[in-house]
Structure 1
Amino acid sequence: MALFQDLIFPAPPSLFLTAMTVISFTSLVYAGISEAIGKNLQYSKFWNAGVADIRKETRISGRAGMLFTYLPPLAAALASFAVPGFPVSGRSLLVRTVLSLHFFKRVFEVVFIHQYSGQMTLKYAIAGTMNDFLNTVSLLYAQYLTQDTPEPSFDLKSVGILLFLIGITGNFYHHYLLSKLRKKNDKGYKIPTGGLFSLVICPHYLFEIIDFLGIALISQTLYSFTWFSGALVYLMGRSYSTRKWYLSKFENFPGDVKALIPFVF
C-alpha cells in the first residue's frame, strides 16, 4: 500500500472524481464479466448475440456508431488545451496529448481503416460514447487537480510514454491486418493471420491494454490506475468471448491460439 502511494498523486477531495472512480471501475468490470459469460455488447461480430428480438432494437451503421462513440472524447481531449489554468507543459501536457492521439487514431481508423460488416444498436453507441467521454473528462480533471501537488516519489512518465507508443502502434498495425482480411463488399469473417494473430486472437486488445497502461503511468493519478484496471478486466472478458466465438464458427481454428496473452490466456 505504501509503495502504491509512492506511485500516485494523493487523491483530491473531489466528490465527482470519487463517484466516477467507483462508477467507471464497477461498470467496466461488470461489462467484462458479462462479455465472458456471453452477454455481449451489440457491435462487431457480436451483433445480434443474445438479443431476444432484433426488431425492437434501433440500429445504425457500424461506422456511424463508432464515430458517434469516439468523436466526443476526442473533442474533450482537444478542448482541454484551451482550458484556462491547465499547465502548458510537463505531465499535464503529456496526458492531454496522449489522450488526443489515442482518440484521433480511433477516429482515423473508423474513417479510413476499419471494414464494417454489420450494424450497431443505438443503445450501445450512446452507452459507448458516454463511457469514453466521461472517462476522458475524468482523466483530464484528475490531472488538472494535481496542480501544486508534490510529484509522486517514482516518476513513471518515461516508461508510460514508451508503453503508450508501443501500444498505439501495435494496436494500429493489428487493426490494419484485420481490415485486409476482407475484399471489397465481403461481409464474411475469416481467421486473422499475421503479426501476433498466430499466438492470440486479440492482439489488438493486448496492445490497447499496453496503450492504456502507458496513459495511466504518464498520469499517475488514482483515477487513471482505477480506470486502467477496469479496462483490463473488460478487455480480458471481451477477448475470452471473442476466442469462444471463433471456436464456435471455425472448425479449423487452431486450439493453441490464446485469447489475449501468448501461451497463457
Structure 2
Amino acid sequence: MEPAERFLLDVLAYLQCAMGLLGSLVLGLADSVYGRYTSPGPDLRVPARAAWALQELPSLAVPLWVCARTAAERLHRAPNSILLAMFLVHYAQRSLIFPFLIRGGKPVPLPTFVLASMFCVYNGYLQSRYLSQHAVYADDWVTDPRFLVGFCLWLIGMLVNIHSDHILRNLRKPGETGYKIPRGGLFEYVTAANYFGEVVEWCGYGLASWSVQGWAFAFFTFCILLTRAQRHHQWYLEKFEDYPKFRKIIIPFLF
C-alpha cells in the first residue's frame, strides 16, 4: 500500500502544478471576481472575515486530522515535524488571526470561496500526508544548506507577507473610503509586496522540503499570485496617474 500511496501523492503533486498553470490561464482570460474587482450583483457572497477564516481553515484542520487518525511515525523525526510546523504556522496565522484583522473587506463570491476551500483541503492533505507518512530525511537534514536556506526564506517571506498586509490594512484612516497607493516596505519596489512575501515563503518551504510536493505548492502559488499581481499592477497604473512607474509587478528589480 505504501508504494501505491506514495505514487498517488506524486501524481497529486504534478496535478497541482497543472492546476496552477490552468488557474493562471483562467484568471488571465476571465474577469476577476475578488476584492476590488467584484461587481455589485445578486449572486451569493460570503462576508470577508468569514470567507478568509473558513476557506483557509482546512489547511490547518486537515493536517491535524491526518496526523490524529494515523500513527504519523515520520513526525518523530525533526525534519518532518519542523516542515509540517512551518506549513501549520502559516495557516494558523491566515485562518485564526488574519481574518479578524480585516477592516471592512468586500464579500467573496460563493464560487470563489468554494474553490479556495477545496484547494486548501487538497493541499492540506497532500502536504501533511506526505510529511507524516512518506517523507524520508536524514537526521542531519536540518543542518543541510538546502534546509537552512529554505527555512530562512520561509521565515522572511512570512514576515514580509504579514508586514505588507499590515500596510494595506492601514492605508485608510477611520471613516475614509476608496483606494490609495501603498507606501512603505517592499511596496516601494513592487506592486504586490504581500504576494511576493508569500511566493518567497513557499519557495523556501519547497527548498527546505526538497520534495515534489513542496515544490508543486510553491509553483502553484507563483502561478496564481503572479497573475493576480499583474492584474493589480495594471489596475494601479490605470487608476492613479502618479503611480510610481519604476515599481515592478511582484519581484523586486526583475518583473
Length-normalised TM-score, structure 2: 0.87
Amino acid at match of 2:183: T
1:199 is matched with which residue? 189
State how far apart, in whole Å, the 1-side matches of 2:210 and 2:104 are: 36
User: Per-residue deviation at 1:147?
Assistant: 5.0
1:133 is matched with which residue? 121
* C-alpha distance 164-139 of structure 1, shift in aligned 2 (>3 A): same
State how far apart, in whole Å, the 1-side matches of 2:139 and 2:85 are: 19
Contact 1:29 1:231 survives alignment (8 Å)? no
RMSD of aligned residue pairs (Cα, Å): 2.5
Instruction: Give unmatched runs, 5+ long, in structure 2.
Output: none
Contact 1:81 1:96 survives alignment (8 Å)? no
1:33 is matched with which residue? 25
2:71 is matched with which residue? 84
State how far apart, in whole Å, the 2-side matches of 1:80 and 1:94 are: 16
Q: Which protein has the bigger helix share?
A: 2
Contact 2:67 2:128 survives alignment (8 Å)? no
Matched, 1:212 2:164: no
SS at match of 2:227: helix
Matched, 1:189 2:179: yes
1:109-188 map, 5 Å: 109-112=98-101, 114-146=102-134, 156-188=146-178
Contact 2:157 2:197 survives alignment (8 Å)? yes
User: Per-residue deviation at 1:257?
Assistant: 1.3
Contact 2:146 2:207 survives alignment (8 Å)? yes
Instruction: Give unmatched runs, 5+ long, in structure 1.
Output: 1-10
**Per-residue CA shift, 1:142-161, capped at 9, x if unaligned?**
22343567789966221121
* C-alpha distance 169-80 of structure 1, shift in aligned 2 (>3 A): farther
Identity %: 23
* C-alpha distance 134-185 of structure 1, shift in aligned 2 (>3 A): farther
Matched, 1:259 2:249: yes
User: Per-residue deviation at 1:197?
Assistant: 0.9
User: Per-residue deviation at 1:171?
Assistant: 0.6
How many aligned residue pairs are there? Answer: 248
State how far apart, in whole Å, the 2-side matches of 1:184 and 1:210 are: 32
State how far apart, in whole Å, the 1-side matches of 2:30 and 2:245 are: 20
* C-alpha distance 256-78 of structure 1, shift in aligned 2 (>3 A): same
1:6 is matched with which residue? none
Give structure 1 regions of 4+ aligned residues with deviation exceeding 6 angstroms. 149-154
User: Per-residue deviation at 1:173?
Assistant: 0.6
1:45 is matched with which residue? 36
Compare relative contact order (CA 8 Å, sep 6+) and give the higher one, 1 or 2: 1
Amino acid at match of 1:127: L
User: Per-residue deviation at 1:93?
Assistant: 0.2
Contact 2:78 2:139 survives alignment (8 Å)? no
**Per-residue CA shift, 1:13-47, capped at 9, x if unaligned?**
4353244223311222222233334532x221222
**Per-residue CA shift, 1:171-197, capped at 9, x if unaligned?**
101110111002234342111001111
Length-normalised TM-score, structure 1: 0.84
State how far apart, in whole Å, the 2-side matches of 1:174 and 1:148 are: 35
Amino acid at match of 2:72: G
User: Per-residue deviation at 1:64?
Assistant: 1.3
